Chain A
Amino acid sequence: MMLRPVVAVLEREVLKLLRQRGRLLSAMVRPLLWLLVIGAGLGAVKAAHGEPAYQTFLVPGVLGMTLLFGGMLAALSTVYDKESGVMRMLVIAPIEHYWIVLAKALGATCAALLQALLLLVILGLLGYLSAQVSLLLLVAGLLGTALACSSLGMLVAAFSRSLDNYATMMNLVIFPVFFLSGSLYPVQQLPDVLRLVAALNPYTYGVDLLKHAAIAGPAVSQGADFTVVLDLAVLIGFSVIALGIAAARFSRDTANEPLVHRLANNL
């Protein structure tokens, strides 16, 4: 019964991603810049102190970055759907409105996974993938992180009347989530305050799970800060709670009134 509407929302999300070549390209360039430029630069500093290769440490972080940006930007596009008329199609459809939130979150998850898979292919071609990678943990890490990032995006979108533009979202939401995680540095070695913030950041656990997967080799799995079970519990728990709040917020009786008012005021 709900299958066709949900699949339709997923299909639209993926179709849009594949058509926006610029979005797909920038989703590949961003992590590669971090890995190949910043990774190499900071790696040179660390190598001078006899530390292990920083670039290998960064691989799970940049993979997580693709999931974070991909998932959140796709989920936050819900805010723009309100302006563009797509939300009108969705709210008038004979489906409970919480399904819109779930379908959009799943669509964003698919979009994020697609981008991460493409990046994995590029990383493989560049020789950053290890034969010792744990496929099971990699799949769990990709799915869990993509879902958590998309859920976070839906939570933000549900509480946003209008976010001015993508730059606002990047600077206020996505960058803080990214920098305050274990993507760029091991969490345990951070100063107390930052360590606490990183521990409260659900995205930290996604990157941690990807570290466990030993994408670039066994040395990296030692960079993980938490256990696999804790990572999975946080990612799933956070997604369920975030989507629950977003769906409740979206289904309340007055949820469509801003939309309706805007229509009425435009006369």
Chain B
Amino acid sequence: MTGAAIRADRLTKRYGETLAVDGIDLAIEPGQFFGLLGPNGAGKTSTIHMLSTLIRPTSGEAWVMGNSVRTHKLAVRRSIGVVFQEAALDRTLSVAENLRFAGALNDLPRAEIRRRSAELLELFGLTHRRDHTAAALSGGMRRALDIARGVIHQPQILFLDEPTIGLDLPNRRAIWRHIARLRAELGITVLLTTHYLEEAADCDEVAFLSAGRIVRQGNPRALTETLGAYIVEVETHRPQELAEQLAPRLGAALIEGERLQFCCDREPADLAALQAELAVTAQAVRWRRPNLNDVFLWVNHSGTSQKRAA
């Protein structure tokens, strides 16, 4: 196969009537930080589970470090680390024992496990907790331990399925610092799924999944730039009317309840003028730089308008 760390070719997973993943193609280069984004149920987790050989694709094929996920499962599993949405830890064992168990399952010698455990616990600030049971850790520390568990065998690729789900903001930040350090120190390829889109802004590349298909893919900065310089938000009691009124100047609006959003490349001075003009009819007029959330909203928006046209 090619030199890609992960490659998928028309990868498909069907559960009975439900098409969870609908023929996606992927090519992720070694060392890349790749984000698979989308709402719950978009097919992110099914994709990760197919790529990590835990479920068999209904059709299509994928290769991880050149090994087929259908025919070379063990070779694939040797080259990857997986951090699931729910911790893969034994809560009754201590922090050190969990890492020892995971290391032994990956056929590492004791001395090697001791050395890597010490390094990882240091890296994730867990050294002083090494003899605590996993159950006694806070949610953030348990997730950090789970990531350490996922990389104890120094995999070339790390799958992170919603690594910060259920964590508060300080812990989410801590987890991202850990992942950044891992990438810096090991040069590991990371495939991330998340629905906190702001967390994917540092990815080298992101793909938006919707109903099992990739609907948009690219560099996060490039994708946000395609929306224009600003997102203008208008709050009004008459969204339809105002959307039509502003369409010639600002283009099509994305209407969410009583809030209109426009993408535009206008200068701030123009927007200030618009703000003054709408002072009476609108409750509020704001503008800001677009982000990945906007990319996602506009992708879905164009999707629905296409459907309407068809």
Contact = CB atoms under 8 A, between A and B. Distances in A.
A96 B74 contact: yes
Interface in A62-102: 84-86, 88-96
Interface stretch (B24-32, B46-54, B239-247, B273-281): B46-54
A256 interface: yes
A266 interface: yes
Contact of A85 (B41, B49, B52, B91): B91
A260 B54 contact: yes
Interface string B48-81: 0100101110000000000000000011011000
The winner among B15, B74, B82, B104 for most chain A CB atoms within 10 A is: B104
Given A89-B102, A92-B77, A94-B78, A263 B86 contact: yes
A91 to B, nearest CB: 6
B106 interface: yes
A1 interface: yes
Chain B contact-residue range equals: 35 or more
Interface residues of A, number: 33
A92 B89 CA distance: 12
B105 A5 contact: yes
B55 A92 contact: no
Contact of B88 (A85, A254, A257): A85
A16 B91 CA distance: 11
B215 interface: no
Interface string A4-20: 11011001100110010
Dominant SS at the A interface? helix
The winner among B54, B102, B108, B109 for most chain A CB atoms within 10 A is: B54
Given A8-B105, A85-B90, A93 B77 contact: yes
A19 B108 CA distance: 25
A1 B106 CA distance: 10
A125 interface: no
Contacts of A260: 45-46, 49, 54-55
Dominant SS at the B interface? loop
A264 interface: yes
A265 to B, nearest CB: 10
B237 to A, nearest CB: 35
A164 interface: no
A253 interface: yes
A266 B54 contact: no
B149 interface: yes
The winner among A4, A84, A92, A253 for most chain B CB atoms within 10 A is: A92
Contacts of A90: 105
B85 interface: yes
B90 A93 contact: no
A267 interface: yes
B101 interface: yes
A5 B102 CA distance: 9
A92 B85 contact: no
A257 B102 CA distance: 22
Interface string A232-267: 000000000000000000000110110111011011
B107 A1 contact: yes
Contacts of B46: 260, 264
Interface in A166-211: none
A94 B107 contact: yes
A84 B90 contact: yes
B74 A94 contact: yes
Contact of B149 (A89, A96, A261): A89
B131 to A, nearest CB: 13
A259 B82 CA distance: 15
A85 B87 CA distance: 6
A96 B56 CA distance: 15
A8 B101 contact: yes
B92 interface: yes
A263 B85 contact: yes
Interface string B219-231: 0000000000000
A15 B87 CA distance: 21
B91 A84 contact: yes
Given A85-B90, A92-B54, A267 B85 contact: yes
A120 to B, nearest CB: 28
B74 A5 contact: no
B106 A93 contact: yes
B85 A94 contact: no
B141 interface: no
Contacts of A95: 74, 105
7 contacts: A8-B105, A12-B101, A86-B88, A96-B74, A257-B15, A260-B55, A267-B165
Interface of B: 15, 40-41, 45-46, 49, 52, 54-56, 74-75, 77-78, 82, 84-93, 97, 100-102, 104-109, 149, 162, 165
Q: List the 10 shortest-distance A-B pairs measured between CB atoms, nearest first.
A: A8-B104, A88-B88, A93-B105, A94-B77, A94-B78, A253-B56, A267-B40, A89-B88, A256-B54, A4-B104
Given A5-B107, A85-B84, A94-B74, 14 more contacts: A1-B107, A4-B105, A12-B101, A84-B91, A85-B89, A89-B88, A89-B101, A89-B149, A92-B88, A94-B106, A253-B56, A256-B49, A257-B15, A259-B54
